[in-house]
Amino acid sequence: MPIAVKVRRWSRRKEARPEEITAGALELFSERGYAATRLEDVAARAGVSKGTLYLYFDNKEELFKAVLREGFISPLAEMRDVVQRFEGPTFELVEMLVRGWWQRIGATRLSAIPKLIVAEARNFPELARFYADEVVRPGREAIAAILRRGIERGEFRPVDPRIAAELLMAPLFMVALWRNSIAACTPERIDPVPLLGAHIEMLRRGLAVDRTS
């Protein structure tokens, strides 16, 4: 009977390991960057052997892509599902998007990933392409779809959805870069919560239909 208990515990531990490994990898990627992160250090941070890590990930590139899939691509898929089912005013979706980004990404270690990509894109162009193809482009398209919905329903003034999507994303990108670079080197502080609140209010006013004409 004790043996059976041990087997069940080991099974649960084994099932959890890929998530533990990607969590450890995210910590190290955010602290050290891509080039300086070693797989043996990731294994140690996750509490597994390097051999166990290789059971799930062939190399560091695949591990990094798994971190992106878990941290960015899955939430993007969730957002698209919410948009398809949402029946309320479109600006509620915009506000949900901005505040949700802060909760899921901006306030977490995932906010270090944009800075990592910018810093190491030249040395690791394949990773930068993967990030652009799997995170940036789908994110831009999802935001543009929300804006297009508001325009078609007469809730937003007729703007170019793709350009407006870039403008919506820009402050989020800036907050992520600041938090993981300049913020550590200067006494000046940017409080992301009121900044994003101001961004939402500017979006509200900028997208509003002019009812006076």
CATH code at position 39:
1.10.10.60
Is the same domain home to 84 and 155?
A: yes
Q: How many domains does the chain have?
A: 2
Rounded-to-integer distance, Cα 157 and Cα 208, Å = 6
In a domain, 151, yes or no: yes
Decide if 213 is inside a domain. no
Tokens of 202: 């500017």
> In the prediction, which pLDDT does 45 show?
93
Residue 4 and residue 70 in one domain: no
Instruction: Kindly report, residue by residue over 20-43, the tens digit of the pLDDT.
Output: 999 999 999 999 999 999 999 999
Higher per-residue confidence, 7 vs 144: 144
**CA 22, CA 108: separation in Å to the nearest integer?**
14
Mean per-residue pLDDT for 64-69? 96
φ/ψ of residue 208, rounded to 5: -60, 140
Are residue 50 and residue 66 in the same domain, yes or no? no
End position of a domain, from candidates 12, 29, 57: 57
pLDDT at 213: 57
Cα(140)–Cα(130) distance, integer angstroms: 15
> Using 50, 70 and 90 to split pLDDT, how confident is the model at 103?
very high
Region 181-196: mean pLDDT is: 88
Let me know whether 65 and 125 are in one domain. Answer: yes
Give the pLDDT confidence of 154-171 residue by residue, as tens digits.
999 999 999 999 999 999
Whole-prediction pTM: 0.84
Asked, for residue 212, whether it belongs to a domain, the answer is no
**Overall average pLDDT of the 117-141 stretch:** 95
10 to 4, 56, 207: CA distances (angstroms): 10, 17, 54
Last residue of a domain, one of 14, 29, 57: 57
pLDDT over 70, % of the chain:
92
Q: Which of 53-62, 89-98, 129-138, 176-185 has the lowest mean pLDDT?
A: 176-185
| Signed CA dihedral, 73, 135, 190, 207: sign only | negative
User: What CATH number does residue 142 fall under?
Assistant: 1.10.357
Residue 36: inside a domain, yes or no? yes
Residues 39 and 63 in one domain: no
Domain of 115 in residue numbering reads as 59-207
Upper half-sphere CA count for residue 123 (Cβ side, 13 Å):
10
